[in-house]
Amino acid sequence: MAGTNRVFAAQLAGLAVFGPDGEQIGRLRDIVAGLRTDRQPPRVLGVVVELATRRRIFVPMLRVTSIEPSAVTLSTGSVNMRHFHQRINEIRVLGQLLDAHVVIEADETTAVIEDVGMEPTRTRDWVLGRVAVRERLGRFGRRGPVRVIKWEDVSGPGIMESEPQGAQQLLTTFENMRAADVAVALRDLPAKRRYEVADALDDERLADVIEELPEEDQKDVLAHLDEERAADILEAMDPDDAADLLAELSELDKNRLLDLMEPEESAPVKRLLEYSAESAGGLMTSEPVVLSHDATIAEALARVRNPDLTPALASMVFVTRPPTATPTGRYLGCVHLQRLLREPPFELVAGALDTELAKLPPTASLAEVTRYFAAYNLVCAPVVDEGEHLLGAVTVDDVLDHLLPEGWRENGLWEASADA
């Protein structure tokens, strides 16, 4: 979709949806956007696809690789096959926005939404940037010409009718805050308001916030959610964070949530749960940047540019024999980001490998992992088993989480340090 500047939603209704292998999996029935309480364009969260069985599922926008006049194509990766349920802070573009009555603010003309234009942003998100409206003229509401205007230039109950109440101002405040700062603010809220905010946040955002909460608050928010959504949130979390949270639950609750998760999402979490929380295996993430030996420097740089990666994970690319999903084929070495920046983009990553860097076994203790980072001045380290398979990577932030005093999140130690 890199070359697409704008797509109008009504044109997508009923389009065939194909998987990465070219097989049709269903048809597009709607587009889901996240409501905002300010005047900025809502972010497109994903699409509703109707399968051959008539079941309607939600597919995140990141899984959509192309939108053509005749079809929509999805990328590889797991898709939640549960029946689509609209969240409290979501709106269906085709089902709720089209034909809604609005006011064009420039001249206070009453109009009806005929179509909505989706536009990409610099951060690879899509937003509802434009609205095609048809004016209502005269006393009897004659149909006027269609005008395409900016989202922020229309107002009215028709485009806000599904907006959650009670937590509106908080959601506006949280919109541009870091997840760690939202977590701090969430802890200070009364339980009722905290749950309202949790219900209103989309899955990805709530997962990011939960990862930053203290352990007891994580369990509290998760317990508030219905089991299916709790499983969705765990799927959206980094596998190592999801494993840490599940390890604190009862065996009954842990196993029930694991069973509700998609197998592709639960498998890495189950592997992480096999290790001690104080070992390299328990600290690692199972989703570092991994490439095969025949990948180019350009491909590696494209991968580390992913805005969803933490700076620590983006600092190092690991190279293995196929398969590249953890546990991988034979581990060959790593390439540091600085080396990637110095090499011609058409060269292979195999020519820039650091094969001398020591590897961490999954059984390495927290003390051993800490000494490793101090000795090599790194922020990311490979975890490799006895068979030379890359299992994952430990990042320095996970090490610090375990080194800091218990309750550091509750006590706001980062603020105390800044004041000092």
Burial of residue 12, with CB atoms counted within 10 A of its CB: 0-12 exposed, 13-18 middle, 19 or more buried: buried
pLDDT for the residue numbered 389: 97
pLDDT at 189: 77
pLDDT of 38: 67
CA distances from 409 to 45, 174, 412, 415 (A): 30, 19, 5, 10
pLDDT at position 15 is 92
In one-letter notation, the amino acid at residue 186 is L
Other residues' Cβ atoms within 10 Å of the Cβ of residue 267: 16
The pLDDT value recorded for residue 363 is: 95
Q: Specify whether the CB–CB gap between 77 and 63 falls below 8 A.
A: yes
* Beta pairing partners, 107: none
- Residue 320 pLDDT: 97
What's the rounded Cα separation, in Å, for the pair 233 and 248?
16
What's the confidence (pLDDT) of residue 180?
Answer: 85
Pairing of strands 290-292, 316-320: parallel
Strands (E), 323-397: 331-336, 380-384, 390-395
Residue pLDDT, tens place only, 352-393: 999 999 999 999 999 999 999 999 999 999 999 999 999 999
Q: By C-alpha distance, which of 333, 290, 331 is closest to 313?
A: 290
| The pLDDT of residue 419 | 38
What torsion do the CA atoms of 380, 385, 389, 393 make, to the nearest 10 degrees? -20
Between vectors from CA 308 to CA 414 and to CA 406, what angle results, nearest 5°?
A: 30
* Residue carrying the six token digits 């196993």: 255
Specify the pLDDT at position 161.
44
Helix axes 215-224, 203-211, angle to 10 degrees: 150
Element holding 195 (H helix, E strand)? helix 191-200
Name the residue among 30, 36, 71, 34 with its Cα closest to residue 48: 30
Query: In this predicted structure, what is the pLDDT of residue 297?
Result: 96
Model pLDDT, residue 417 = 39
In angstroms, rounded to a whole number, what is the distance separating the alpha carbons of residues 391 and 337? 20
Half-sphere exposure of 146 (CA within 13 A, CB side): 9
Pairing of strands 16-18, 71-74: parallel
SS3 109: strand
Tokens standing for 195? Answer: 């749950």
Given a cut of 70, the residues of the chain with pLDDT beneath it are 1-4, 37-38, 77-78, 88, 136-143, 157-170, 172-173, 188, 405-420
> Domains in the chain, please, with CATH?
7-87 (2.30.30.240), 95-159 (2.30.30), 168-274 (1.25.60.10), 290-403 (3.10.580.10)
pLDDT digits over 138-188, tens only?
Answer: 554 566 788 899 998 888 755 554 444 445 666 766 777 888 888 888 886
Contact between residue 37 and residue 19 where contact means Cβ atoms under 8 Å apart: no
- Quote the pLDDT of residue 415: 41
Nearest CA among 70, 49, 46, 59 for reference residue 126:
46
3-state secondary structure (DSSP) of residue 178: coil
Residue 49 has φ and ψ, to the nearest 5°, of -115, 130
The reported pLDDT for the residue numbered 355 is 95
